[in-house]
Structure 1
Amino acid sequence: MTALDLTRADWRTSTRSSGNGNCVEVATVDGRVAVRDSKDRGGPVLVFPSATWVAFVTGVDAVRPG
């Protein structure tokens, strides 16, 4: 497995997140989506194929109360 270079990643949080720093940050890099904890930016990063991330977000949106 090749390591993904995240040094130039453009990390972002939801516009609905509060300002207290308890957020999940995501970045799109080389056709994959990287996910990390905003409280531990140097910590572990989960990386998913873009299609897997889209399926996850779509599934969450489908069960979220209106």
Structure 2
Amino acid sequence: MNLYVELAVTARLLILVQSLMVSHRPGTRVNLTETQRALDRIVTRRNRNRRRAIRRRERVRARITDVVSTP
């Protein structure tokens, strides 16, 4: 690879890494369009809801197990 191509590849990789970095606030990635931001919010919400549902099921299961195990 010549130097120009290597620099171009490095620059693209840096841009890709920066765009994938997420701050503490969801949807604030670097250089996201409104559509990408909206999709990111949807994915974040789905993941959060999935985790909540899993925790809810675990609490219910623990409650049922606890009731059954105590005489």
The alignment's TM-score, normalised by the length of structure 2, stands at 0.29
Q: Which has the larger radius of gyration?
A: 2
Structure with the largest fraction of strand: 1
Structure with the largest fraction of helix: 2
The alignment's TM-score, normalised by the length of structure 1, stands at 0.31
Q: Which has the higher contact order (CA 8 A, sep 6+)?
A: 1
